[in-house]
Structure 1
Amino acid sequence: MTAISLREIRKSYGSLQVIHDIDIEIESGEFLVLVGPSGCGKSTLLRMIAGLEDISGGRLEIGGKMVNALPPSQRDIAMVFQDYALYPHMSVLENMAFGLKMRGTDEAVIQQRVAQAADILRIQPFLDRRPAQLSGGQRQRVAMGRAIVREPSAFLFDEPLSNLDAALRVEMRLEIAKLHNRMKATTVYVTHDQVEAMTLADRIVVLNAGRVEQIGPPLELYHRPASLFVARFIGSPTMNTFSAELVTHGEKVKVRLKDRAIMLENEAAQQLRAGAATLGIRPEDLVVCSPEEAWFGGRLAVAERLGSQTYGYLETGNARMLTVEFPRDTAISVGDLIHVRPNIDAVHVFEEASGRRLN
């Protein structure tokens, strides 16, 4: 069942349109993550769902009911903000109970819900403390608890972990995943962190300049990006890309890079014309080989040893840096000459002009 429906949603500030005809159907219990570069409109879109930003055009439905003109308090959603938004003069218990008290909820129900949320989030020892006496991770748990006690139809998260240090982000990411698995609540989550997006999402929406580039499960976006923008945005380190050439041979099309070529044989290829293309290869899809087999070669400029894996950055000329993933114990040193070839089955080909995927 669809929990939240966005149909041709638009947002303008005067003559400047920042959200362009967005269509997204969010299923009940789904964890949907919005990602994209700064300024792409992901937080604006989330605030439109919450009712904190007016909708310039289109139709927004929550639970099958149009809510375009409804205030936030009547949309049956709860939002967790980046800066926690806790009342500094209230205790943790008072912060979590405040929204229910404003709604006139029975005191016994309030106490039950607060106790249950505190147990889920492991913040029972802090109920009498004020926010200033808590760590960043504890404050974020309180903000999440305040949302949980309302038992809304959907949760909205606006970059909730961006103020935490690296270790706390990992811990809180796991807490959010466990919370979602336990509650099965519809969740819309905004982040700029790819690890958060890839590990939390059932589906990811990639936004670019207020438009949807692609929607799909995390691994689908990683392995089959629909556009060059998605290919470059999803994945860290980013995909290696190279300028190539489309060459037509009757009904067949080749993608040529220097003296190497890849044949495109799908139906879409038959509609293509000769012209420029971009070839993409992820770092893990490059294999060290002999000079005779090599597509690329270069001197190792930097080696990043991360424990579980090693990334090498090769200087290949023309100021181009090539990223290669090596097994973690590979013996490489700065200055080594390294030759690599791609796994042909994992090469991505994009049309230069439109950026759309061709293979």
Structure 2
Amino acid sequence: MTAIALKQIRKTYGALQVIHDLDIDIESGEFLVLVGPSGCGKSTLLRMIAGLEDISGGILEIGGTVVNALPPSQRDIAMVFQDYALYPHMSVRENMAFGLKMRGTDEATIDSRVDRVAGTLQIQPFLDRRPAHLSGGQRQRVAMGRAIVREPSAFLFDEPLSNLDAALRVEMRLEIAKLHGRMKATTVYVTHDQVEAMTLADRIVVLNAGRIEQIGAPLDLYHRPASLFVARFIGSPTMNTMPAEVVSGPGGAAIRLGEKLLPLTGLSGGAVTQGAATFGIRPEDLITCSKEEAWFSGELAVAERLGGQTYGYVEIGEPRMLSVEFARSMAIQVADPIHVRPNMDAIHLFDTTSGRRIN
């Protein structure tokens, strides 16, 4: 069942259009993440769903009801903001109960809900404290609790972890994932952090300049990006990309990389448009090999040893260094010669002009 439907939604500020005719169906209980660089329109879109921004065109439905003209209080949604937005003069209990009191909920129900949610979020010891006496992670739990006690039809999160340090981000990300697993509530979550998007989402919407680049499950976007933008945005380190040319070889399609002419065994000559293209390969899909077998050879410039993973950056004569994932037990040193070839099943090709995937 569709919980939230966006149909040809657009947003303009005078002559400037920042959201371009978006169509998204969000299923009941789904965790949908809006991701993209700063300025792509993801927070604006979330605020339009919440009713905090007017909709310039299109139809927004929540629970099958058109809500374009409804104020936020009548949309049955709850929003968690980036800056917590807690009332500093109220205790944690009062902050969590405030929305229910404004709706005329009886005291017994309010106390029951607040105590239950405080237990779930492990903030019972702080119920009588004020926000100034809490850590950042505790404040974020309170902000989440204030939303949860309302028991809305959908939750909206606007970059809720961006003000936390790295350790707290990981902890709160796990808390949000566990919470959604228990509640199965429809959730729309905005972030610019692709790690958050990959670990939390049932589906990801990648936005670029107010347009949808791709919608899909996290691993679908990772393994089969629909565009060069998605390929470079999803994944860390980012996908290796470089200019190439698709040509017709003796056995079918081939790709020319510099002076190398290499067959693409998974493609027929007619599968792609011949001509200029952008070649892509992810770091983990490069295999160390002999110099004779190598597609790429160069000198190791930087080695990143992260414990569970080791990444190397190789100077191969391109403007960008080639990133390679090595076995963590592999002994590599800066200035070592490195020879690699791609996993042929993991090659990506993109149209140079449009940036769209072509294989």
Pairwise CA distance, 1:316:
1.2
Contact 1:80 1:158 in 2 (8 A): yes
1:331 partner amino acid: A
What pairs with 1:23-38 in structure 2 (closer than 5 Å)?
23-38=23-38
Task: Specify the SS of the correspondent of 1:69.
Answer: coil
Relative to the length of structure 2, the TM-score reads 0.97
Where structure 1 has 5 or more consecutive residues not aligned to the other structure, the ranges are none
What pairs with 1:277-356 in structure 2 (closer than 5 Å)?
277-356=277-356
Pairwise CA distance, 1:262:
3.6
CA distance in structure 2 between the aligned counterparts of 1:201 and 1:273, rounded to whole angstroms: 34
Residue of structure 2 equivalent to 1:276: 276
Residue of structure 1 equivalent to 2:164: 164
CA distance in structure 2 between the aligned counterparts of 1:161 and 1:68, rounded to whole angstroms: 29
Contact 2:252 2:263 in 1 (8 A): no
1:82 partner amino acid: Q
Pairwise CA distance, 1:318:
4.2
Contact 2:272 2:358 in 1 (8 A): no
CA distance in structure 1 between the aligned counterparts of 2:264 and 2:229, rounded to whole angstroms: 23
What pairs with 1:15-164 in structure 2 (closer than 5 Å)?
15-164=15-164
Residue of structure 1 equivalent to 2:196: 196
Pairwise CA distance, 1:355:
1.1
| Greater Cα shift, 217-226 or 273-282 | 273-282
Contact 2:265 2:344 in 1 (8 A): no
Residue of structure 2 equivalent to 1:260: 261
Contact 1:252 1:265 in 2 (8 A): no
Residue of structure 2 equivalent to 1:219: 219
Pairwise CA distance, 1:259:
1.7
Pairwise CA distance, 1:125:
0.3
| Greater Cα shift, 258-267 or 297-306 | 258-267
2:153 partner amino acid: S
Superposed CA RMSD in Å reads 1.5
Task: Specify the SS of the correspondent of 1:146.
Answer: helix
Pairwise CA distance, 1:255:
2.6
Pairwise CA distance, 1:270:
3.0
CA distance in structure 2 between the aligned counterparts of 1:102 and 1:209, rounded to whole angstroms: 38
Residue of structure 2 equivalent to 1:13: 13
| Greater Cα shift, 275-284 or 319-328 | 319-328
CA distance in structure 2 between the aligned counterparts of 1:263 and 1:304, rounded to whole angstroms: 31
Pairwise CA distance, 1:256:
2.3
CA distance in structure 1 between the aligned counterparts of 2:18 and 2:144, rounded to whole angstroms: 29
Residue of structure 2 equivalent to 1:208: 208
Contact 1:55 1:68 in 2 (8 A): yes
Pairwise CA distance, 1:132:
0.2
Pairwise CA distance, 1:265:
6.3
CA distance in structure 2 between the aligned counterparts of 1:34 and 1:251, rounded to whole angstroms: 42
Task: Specify the SS of the correspondent of 1:270.
Answer: coil
1:305 partner amino acid: R
Equivalent residues, number: 358
1:156 partner amino acid: L
1:315 partner amino acid: E
Where structure 2 has 5 or more consecutive residues not aligned to the other structure, the ranges are none
Relative to the length of structure 1, the TM-score reads 0.97
Task: Specify the SS of the correspondent of 2:341.
Answer: strand
CA distance in structure 2 between the aligned counterparts of 1:255 and 1:350, rounded to whole angstroms: 12
Pairwise CA distance, 1:275:
1.7
Pairwise CA distance, 1:271:
7.1
Pairwise CA distance, 1:358:
1.4
Q: Deviations over 1:71-104 (max 9, x none)?
A: 1000000000000000000000000000000111
Q: Deviations over 1:213-256 (max 9, x none)?
A: 00000000000001111001100000000111122469954332
Contact 2:249 2:263 in 1 (8 A): no
Pairwise CA distance, 1:261:
2.2
Pairwise CA distance, 1:264:
7.2
Say if 1:168 and 1:261 are closer, same or farther in 2 by CA, change over 3 A.
same
| Greater Cα shift, 311-320 or 222-231 | 311-320
